[in-house]
With several copies, the nearest count.
Chain A
Amino acid sequence: MSETFASLSLVPKTTTPLSAKDFKTDQEVRWCPGCGDYAILAAVQAFLPELGVARENITIISGIGCSSRFPYYVDTYGMHSIHGRAPAIATGLSVTRPDLSVWVVTGDGDALSIGGNHLIHAMRRNVNLKILLFNNRIYGLTKGQYSPTSEEGKITKSTPYGSLDHPFNPVSLALGVECTFVARTLDSDRKHLTETLRAAAAHEGTAIVEIMQNCDIFNDGAWAPLKDAEVRDENLIRLEHGQPIRVGASRGVFRDDRGELFIDEVTEANAAKVVIHDAHMDDPSAAFQLSRLSDPVRLSNTPVGVFRDVARPVFDRQMQAQIDEVSRKLGTGDFDRLLRSADTWEIA
């Protein structure tokens, strides 16, 4: 696909068409066999050519974790930084280089435990980042402690008697800080994952994509109800903008008098009342309500797709505009004039 993304208007276009192969590096991929990260890597490598921009104008910044090894495997510019700080580092890059497409790859521990603060600040500022949050509900790289998305009572190396913490819902969290683009998808659903990447890439500003990812070794099957062919369709809610929100084969999402959502069989009589998904509402409340539908343990009624996608001034653009504006008003900086901006005196 060579159609360009409006969001990448400042990024130089490529002249030669690229393929997934062009985004592979010579480094051996070192995840465990079966790890969900492989599928995400393949999907991203296959998707990137669609951006239509030169490889050298893409940069991927990651933190630390299994997931954060990602940049080594994608032949763009990249940085494997330190634990939790990728959004902060990427912010510095994004606001100084609007000519780059900047991606952040992070894990549930990296983004939501140690890195929670940078993440929420990047989102409120609407920094021009596409954040891929690989959520395997566990600390993989450190060999299996519970994470801020692990379900309550989780038995892990650090919680042999069960964890006590109530997990974050990453989508609710992102909506609570008014992130302008919030989506969720699955490592194993290549098509949905690719579509979600496409929507994120098209968004101007911060786009966060929670990717439900399987850790084969320390949390195998964490997302089974959403992946196993037999049950997934009954548990997943595939959000599509402008479409009625359906659950499984026969059910739908409805709203009661008090404004609360509930799920019921769709009949001919009530079909028209199925809630229509509107990802472009400025008020994040409706999206927030959808984020509350899923059961954090059984994973029933879990919406995937784009919860929210709205426009708001973008941080790097704003910063550039301010520089342009001030330069226009004051004239481009003249160092000698700056030195003399206070009272001076001459000694002969």
Chain B
Amino acid sequence: MSKQLITLDQVIIRFAGDSGDGMQLTGDQFTAETAAYGNDLSTMPDYPAEIRAPQGTLHGVSSFQLHFADHEVLTPGDAPNVLVAMNPAALKANIGLMGPGATLILNSDEFTKRNLEKVGYWSNPLEDGSLARYDVHAIALTSQTVDALKDFDLTRKEAERSKNMYALGLLSWLYSRPTDAARRYLEKKFAKKPEVLAANLAALEAGWSFGETTEAFSVYYEIKPSSPAPGTYRYITGNVALSYGLIAASVRSGLPLFLGSYPITPASDILHELSKHKNFGVRTFQAEDEIAGVGSAIGAAYGGMLAVTTTSGPGIALKSEAIGLAVALELPLIIVDVQRGGPSTGLPTKTEQADLLQAMYGRNGESPVPIVAAQSPADCFNAAYEAARIAVTYRTPVFLLTDGALANGAEPWLLPSIDELPPIDPAFLTEPNHEVDGTPVLWPFKRDPETLARPWIKPGTPGLTHRIGGIEKQDGTGNISYDPANHDRMVRLRDAKVQGIAREVPNLWVDDPTGDAELLVLGWGSTYGPVGAACEEVRKEGIKVAHAHIRLVHPFPADTGEVLRRYRRVLIPEMNLGQLALLIRGTYLVDAMSLNKVEGQPFKSTEIAAAIKDVLAHV
């Protein structure tokens, strides 16, 4: 049968199934193929907080969304074009996302009465006409897989497990993806289980062949590679990119990396990743709790390491007293907060941006800390590197904010060259830095006149023994001081040091193609993708809109006020109730409007586009 090949410019696919169906794996592999093929892409996994929620229930649905295109991709996409649903629960949980005409590939084997009733389908949607608006392909994925593997020495249950590979094969055919990457992955994973390997490869093959031969599909698609900047690419998630950024900073600065951490979703994968790289001299320490995580990092920083602690919101709350100590000690320290839905335990596996003000103010006293925010999965690399650079240069704890969507999301990444990264100079003090009556002495709190940074002194350095602590210190000598004027001076000096970073960082990033937009959409962190996509969307309709994005959230880039005043209106979309908005309004007295979404889900670009139009309609 000859099939028609249709060329598309972009596709959004959503794989969904039970937690145990291996949908994350299927998505990952399809993504790897797609990345290797040269499309730009962006992904978003979405899984339940339970390890294995009860089979076949709505709670147990795990899904993975992939957006790929022949042009630059900014988000995992709003409305998927294709849904692969391995059971009725997966259909029910996701159908609301699908636009009319979307393709549904449904595993008909699982649409039994029992499974349907479990999720409240009182009639079978495959039969009752309720899916008429969609292009439905009901395929017996499970039994076809079992059938394809009948020659293998496997129980039915074992054979069924490969149904995700069967689906992968089918989808790979449908979108003309090479399957080499998936094969390589399987070969590696099942190197020690040749039987399982063979079965999985066979299932993959069978899925592909099924697509090619069945009459169910009369067309198939190709999406041409995008043409990004030349170079070597790989596909990377935010948490891995962040880990690599830290290792890069360690390599470039010559400072051994130390991570003190306590597992917590969605930050744990940074601990997992870094623990693999002991051959870089990376020391990972799984502490007894978050307080010990940051405490050990402070000890390591005092010892002259590039010290890091990673966690999510509730962990930051616990670390806050110790972060205050790091502020008082003026030691380099990187604090990673992979934000998730709050308050309290909240929505642990979902995304949110509601820890910004916690990072700013979640400590007793005046306790200023720079804050860097990553804006895409691959950008976590740059953000981590920049956080390390600021921490070391200014001898200060630095917050690095990412979120659940960035952490688990993934995109292609143009590999950097380590030598081209900006230098990081630990510049340890090795000699006395002051004179008193002609005698050289150490003043551990004598500041660099430019950066206001104090010296970093490694224990073991002869002649520089000294003591530091959390009580207020005399300017210069660092001795305990209860002097009122000195306290006021130190409070202002610590603040000025952090504010001073604005001097040397780049100006606010602004994208205003026509230069005469009336509305500025101001974002930070992971809204970068949806805001960018929304702006592109509305610009296609001739609407003029500018997009500015804040990477260094504290202090703001020096020209922020000036940029803001250039626009009649400012709109700030945030996955919180208006945290950046408060800071912008309070700092610049600009009547910025908020667009807030606190659903544990990233913005859709259409939501932002609608808000843009709405604002402009009222200018």
Contact = CB atoms under 8 A, between A and B. Distances in A.
In the complex they form, whether A and B have CB atoms below 8 Å apart is answered with yes
Interface of A: 12, 25, 27-33, 54-57, 59, 61, 64, 66, 69, 71-72, 75-85, 88-97, 99-100, 113-114, 116-118, 121, 139-143, 145-146, 148, 157-161, 163, 217-218, 319, 322-323, 326-327, 329-333, 335-336, 338-340, 342-348
Interface in B210-266: 227-236, 244, 247-248, 251, 256, 258, 260, 262-265
Given A335-B248, A340-B234, A96 B303 contact: yes
Contact of B299 (A80, A90, A329): A90
Contacts of A331: 279
Interface string B84-112: 00000000000000000000000000000
Interface residues of B, number: 98
Contact of A56 (B32, B258, B292, B459): B459
A100 B458 CA distance: 11
Contact of B465 (A77, A83, A118): A77
Interface in B266-312: 268, 271-272, 275-292, 295-305, 307
B51 to A, nearest CB: 5
20 contacts: A64-B345, A77-B460, A77-B467, A80-B469, A88-B287, A88-B291, A90-B299, A96-B283, A97-B304, A117-B289, A121-B292, A158-B268, A160-B275, A160-B276, A161-B275, A332-B280, A335-B247, A336-B417, A338-B247, A343-B32
Contacts of A163: 286
A113 B261 CA distance: 12
B32 A96 contact: no
A82 B37 CA distance: 45
Contact of A92 (B53, B57, B227, B260): B260
Contact of B471 (A80, A89, A116, A121): A80
Contact of B184 (A148, A343, A346): A343
B50 interface: yes
Contact of B418 (A139, A335, A346): A335
B467 A72 contact: yes
Contacts of B476: none
Given A323-B283, A338-B244, A347 B467 contact: no
A323 B462 contact: no
B460 A81 contact: no
Nearest to A55: B465
B292 A88 contact: yes
A61 to B, nearest CB: 7
Contacts of A59: 302, 459
A85 B295 CA distance: 7
B591 interface: no
A65 to B, nearest CB: 11
Contacts of B275: 157-161
B298 A81 contact: yes
B59 interface: yes
B577 interface: no
Contact of B244 (A118, A140, A339): A339
B507 interface: no
Given A29-B54, A91-B285, A332-B279, A100 B460 contact: yes
B463 A327 contact: no
Given A59-B459, A82-B321, A139 B263 contact: yes
B266 to A, nearest CB: 10
Given A32-B52, A88-B287, A82 B345 contact: yes
B428 to A, nearest CB: 13
A72 B470 CA distance: 12
Given A85-B291, A347-B233, 9 more contacts: A28-B57, A96-B256, A96-B300, A161-B278, A327-B281, A339-B415, A343-B184, A346-B233, A347-B230
Going nearest first, the 3 A-B pairs with the smallest beta carbon separation are A92-B299, A80-B469, A92-B296
A345 B57 contact: no
Contacts of A347: 38, 227-231, 233
Pick from A25, A57, A79, A342 the residue with the most CB of B within 10 Å: A79
Nearest to B36: A345
Contact of B281 (A92, A97, A323): A323
Contacts of A160: 272, 275-276
A116 B288 contact: yes
A96 B300 CA distance: 6
A159 B272 CA distance: 8
B209 interface: no
A12 B301 CA distance: 21
A163 B287 CA distance: 12
Contacts of A61: 299
A30 B53 contact: yes
A154 to B, nearest CB: 11
B279 A345 contact: no
Interface in B54-71: 54-55, 57, 59-60
A78 B181 contact: no
Contacts of A71: 467, 469
Contact of B258 (A12, A96, A218, A348): A96
Contacts of B276: 160
B234 A79 contact: no
Contacts of A78: 465-468
Pick from B280, B290, B415 the residue with the most CB of A within 10 Å: B280
Contacts of A77: 459-460, 465-467
B418 A56 contact: no
Contacts of A99: 460
Nearest to B180: A343
B13 interface: no
A172 B246 CA distance: 40
B38 A340 contact: no
A217 to B, nearest CB: 6
Nearest to B301: A92
A57 B234 contact: no
B234 A342 contact: yes
Contacts of A159: 275, 286
B460 A57 contact: yes
Contacts of A29: 54
Contact of B295 (A55, A118, A157, A348): A118
B286 A158 contact: yes
A310 to B, nearest CB: 23
Contact of A322 (B278, B324, B479): B278
Contacts of A28: 54, 57, 59
Given A32-B52, A345-B36, A80 B263 contact: no
Nearest to B315: A83
B356 interface: no
B234 A344 contact: yes
B344 interface: yes
Given A55-B465, A77-B466, A158 B284 contact: yes
A97 B303 contact: yes
A27 B479 contact: yes
Contacts of A326: 278-279
B232 A346 contact: yes
A346 B231 contact: yes
A336 B418 contact: yes
A145 B286 contact: yes
Given A92-B295, A347-B233, A145 B268 contact: yes
A59 B57 CA distance: 29
A341 to B, nearest CB: 9
Contacts of B38: 345, 347
B198 interface: no
Contacts of A217: 51-52
A83 B471 CA distance: 12
B459 A100 contact: yes
Contacts of A96: 256, 258, 283, 299-300, 303-305
